[in-house]
Chain A
């Protein structure tokens, strides 16, 4: 699918950290997002993601919530310890989020509100959401 030139310029060199325990998801979404011009670093294991985490390196982190080693909120907390400014959003199939959130106040309310993307989602819609988050101010 063709991007506008404007879109291509803004998208170039934006680095995305993608963490999801489903390898099928990471394979396909990496494909799609790289097609859109992003640089994608993906992990299926949040612990591995953390050990390889580079602060101030990524523009956006897209995290799954339900993962066996560590859930998305804990991962977010760990990431925040190393990188305070990184934009983070969740990509999840979950509905009852409250059950999994230990303390909603820990999260930036802006991120929690805008930053939950529902699975399943079309690639185009995902792109729109990502653009919205990247262009939003804190």
Chain B
């Protein structure tokens, strides 16, 4: 079992070519899919990254938009305060009273339409609150000295609008304040200030989620990095860089750098981990009146971002999957169809092969039957001829009366004619059914020619045959011309051709002469039989070697056809031509010559008829 024959692998392959083919195609398709999905993965990676970058940019944009929104709201409030500060009552130093109250309440409502403020106040030049409008449930803080407030001092210092840092109100609520100084237009005297204060949580809650860090939220820092608003309440009012906050954030360098960058006036983004969750933070400075007063941050858990990305990708994937599925279905259908078609063709081939085999069998049987018929016919034709010949021969030896002898000769001659006719017809039959078998051996063709010629010479002498005054001359060019051929059949050919020559040789000038030559040329032996007869009628020429040659005196007309078939079966050629010098024709044939001088090759083939 170890050693397999070299050929067996090839055989195995060709036997199962169909299966191998299908496996190959499947492999190719699998590899193609593999490459495709790999490519998709690679693409998906970059898509993911791209989408992420997109999301980050978008978030940055949102932060900017938010910052600008806050800015415009704060500016709007400041401009209302400015209007108040320029109003006639306040300008004249009327800082409380009914008239002021009415005006202030109007403005309070107006401001509250923009954003939620819970206190609108006026302070005098000594920083004492002279008037305030507060929301329900709130304590009035009239008469309270506010000079301790940084923003109050700042307002008096810069004599312009102040957007304050964050501060803790007396009631504990964390706020920012916007103030505007009241300056007498005429004499430039500082009269006091007007301001609003708003809880950071109420103010900033308008812009986003300020309650929970579970989802996207916002945080805002003031100039001192104090957190004005953050979902983690303990952060509010505490500097981001304070220990408390830093401990919670884990002193995250990335985050700290981000805060510093944004606080330097540059928008930025960063990804870091906070409270065990990866987040994307984008920060944008809030420019109010051109100055970066506050800093806004949007913080998004990246899981949210990824979820979004995954949604997008999922849709893309779904599209791709549908495409691929569709393609796969098409391919599978095609393969199935091909397999089915292959099976159909297989069956057809098998059927046709069977039909052909059957038909072939029938032909073989038919052939065999034909061969048998010919053999049986041969036997049956020859059998009765024997007693006819023998009887007439015996009688001829006994009967002396010449007339009786003449009749017996008739019987004998015609029995021979019948015999020759039978043999010719049987030969033609064999030729037609391609069952003319040759028993080849190596011999000197000159010997055979000599035998046949001698036989004819004897016959001419003894039986006074036609052409008895014809001389047969045989001059071989070489002594030995070896050929590999069927002796009997070759003798038959030579006989036939000689017969032909004798028939048509009539002495035109004296004795008729038949000259036979044999010579070796190239790898063949050429035998030529020249006669001095009347030559071949050009009309007969084309039919000379066919079955339809004209019948002659003693021949069947089949002799030349049979000779041609025999010679051609040996691989040689037969032809005839009229002699150029006029007078007679030449019949020639070639037989392939044999090279080595082997012994007689008796391969024990079938014994054939002469």
Interface residues of A (CB under 8 A from B): 1, 22, 24-25, 27-29, 31-32, 35, 66, 93-99, 104, 116, 118-124
**A-binding segment of B134-142, B374-382, B542-550:** B374-382
Check A95 against B394 for contact (C-beta < 8 Å).
no
Q: Which residue of A lies closest to B375 (CB)?
A: A96
CB distance from B296 to the nearest CB of A (A): 116
Q: How many Å lie between the Cα of A121 and that of B552 in the bound state?
A: 24
Check A66 against B393 for contact (C-beta < 8 Å).
no
- B379, B389, B604, B608: the one contacting A93 at CB < 8 Å is B379
Q: CB within 8 Å of A: which of B347-388?
A: 375, 378-379, 382-387
- A24, A29, A96, A124: the one contacting B606 at CB < 8 Å is A96
- B375, B379, B387: the one contacting A24 at CB < 8 Å is B387
**A35 surroundings in chain B (CB, below 8 A):** 394, 397
**B223 surroundings in chain A (CB, below 8 A):** none
- B378, B607, B610: the one contacting A97 at CB < 8 Å is B607
CB distance from A4 to the nearest CB of B (A): 15
Check A95 against B387 for contact (C-beta < 8 Å).
no
- A24, A32, A119: the one contacting B393 at CB < 8 Å is A32
B390 at the A interface (CB under 8 A): yes
A-B contact pairs, 23 of them (CB 8 A): A22-B383, A22-B387, A24-B387, A28-B386, A28-B394, A31-B391, A32-B393, A66-B379, A93-B378, A93-B383, A93-B386, A95-B378, A95-B379, A99-B375, A119-B382, A119-B383, A119-B386, A120-B385, A120-B389, A121-B386, A121-B389, A122-B390, A123-B390
Q: How many Å lie between the Cα of A35 and that of B396 in the bound state?
A: 12
Q: CB within 8 Å of A: which of B398-425?
A: 415, 419
CB distance from B387 to the nearest CB of A (A): 4
Q: How many Å lie between the Cα of A81 and that of B139 in the bound state?
A: 156
**B383 surroundings in chain A (CB, below 8 A):** 22, 25, 93, 119
Q: How many Å lie between the Cα of A118 and that of B607 in the bound state?
A: 10
Interface centre among A32, A93, A123, by most B CB within 10 Å? Answer: A93
Q: How many Å lie between the Cα of A115 and that of B387 in the bound state?
A: 20
CB distance from B15 to the nearest CB of A (A): 38
CB distance from B210 to the nearest CB of A (A): 117
**B606 surroundings in chain A (CB, below 8 A):** 95-98
CB distance from B372 to the nearest CB of A (A): 9
> Given A22-B383, A22-B387, A95-B609, A122–B378 Cβ distance below 8 Å?
no
**B607 surroundings in chain A (CB, below 8 A):** 95, 97, 116
Check B393 against A118 for contact (C-beta < 8 Å).
no
**B609 surroundings in chain A (CB, below 8 A):** 95, 118
Check A28 against B608 for contact (C-beta < 8 Å).
no
Q: How many Å lie between the Cα of A97 and that of B604 in the bound state?
A: 11
- A32, A99, A120, A124: the one contacting B382 at CB < 8 Å is A120
**B393 surroundings in chain A (CB, below 8 A):** 32, 122-124
Check A31 against B610 for contact (C-beta < 8 Å).
no
Q: How many Å lie between the Cα of A32 and that of B384 in the bound state?
A: 16
**A96 surroundings in chain B (CB, below 8 A):** 375, 606
Q: How many Å lie between the Cα of A29 and that of B388 in the bound state?
A: 11
> Given A118-B610, A120-B419, A28–B391 Cβ distance below 8 Å?
yes
**B397 surroundings in chain A (CB, below 8 A):** 1, 35
Q: How many Å lie between the Cα of A22 and that of B391 in the bound state?
A: 14
9 closest Cβ pairs, A-B complex: A93-B382, A24-B387, A120-B386, A28-B390, A120-B385, A123-B393, A1-B397, A93-B379, A119-B386
**A116 surroundings in chain B (CB, below 8 A):** 607
Q: Which residue of B lies closest to A24 (CB)?
A: B387
**A93 surroundings in chain B (CB, below 8 A):** 378-379, 382-383, 386
**B390 surroundings in chain A (CB, below 8 A):** 25, 28-29, 31-32, 122-123
**A66 surroundings in chain B (CB, below 8 A):** 379
Check A32 against B386 for contact (C-beta < 8 Å).
no
CB distance from A120 to the nearest CB of B (A): 4
Q: How many Å lie between the Cα of A122 and that of B462 in the bound state?
A: 15
Q: Which residue of B lies closest to A21 (CB)?
A: B383
**A123 surroundings in chain B (CB, below 8 A):** 389-390, 393-394
> Given A95-B607, A123-B393, A28–B387 Cβ distance below 8 Å?
yes
Q: Which residue of A lies closest to B386 (CB)?
A: A120
Q: Which residue of B lies closest to A94 (CB)?
A: B379
**A124 surroundings in chain B (CB, below 8 A):** 393
**B391 surroundings in chain A (CB, below 8 A):** 28, 31
**B385 surroundings in chain A (CB, below 8 A):** 119-120
CB distance from B384 to the nearest CB of A (A): 8
CB distance from A111 to the nearest CB of B (A): 14
CB distance from B412 to the nearest CB of A (A): 9
**B379 surroundings in chain A (CB, below 8 A):** 66, 93-95
Q: Which residue of A lies closest to B610 (CB)?
A: A118
Q: How many Å lie between the Cα of A25 and that of B385 in the bound state?
A: 10
Q: How many Å lie between the Cα of A14 and that of B607 in the bound state?
A: 29
Q: How many Å lie between the Cα of A99 and that of B378 in the bound state?
A: 15
Q: How many Å lie between the Cα of A96 and that of B379 in the bound state?
A: 10
Check B389 against A95 for contact (C-beta < 8 Å).
no
- A22, A31, A98: the one contacting B394 at CB < 8 Å is A31
CB distance from A112 to the nearest CB of B (A): 9
**A27 surroundings in chain B (CB, below 8 A):** 387
**A94 surroundings in chain B (CB, below 8 A):** 375, 378-379
Q: Which residue of B lies closest to A26 (CB)?
A: B387
**A98 surroundings in chain B (CB, below 8 A):** 606
CB distance from A130 to the nearest CB of B (A): 14
Q: How many Å lie between the Cα of A118 and that of B389 in the bound state?
A: 13
Q: Which residue of A lies closest to B437 (CB)?
A: A96
CB distance from B529 to the nearest CB of A (A): 26
Check B394 against A32 for contact (C-beta < 8 Å).
yes
CB distance from B354 to the nearest CB of A (A): 30
Q: How many Å lie between the Cα of A46 and that of B223 in the bound state?
A: 144
**B387 surroundings in chain A (CB, below 8 A):** 22, 24-25, 27-28
CB distance from A99 to the nearest CB of B (A): 8
CB distance from B41 to the nearest CB of A (A): 78
Q: How many Å lie between the Cα of A96 and that of B608 in the bound state?
A: 7
Q: How many Å lie between the Cα of A117 and that of B429 in the bound state?
A: 23
Q: How many Å lie between the Cα of A22 and that of B384 in the bound state?
A: 9
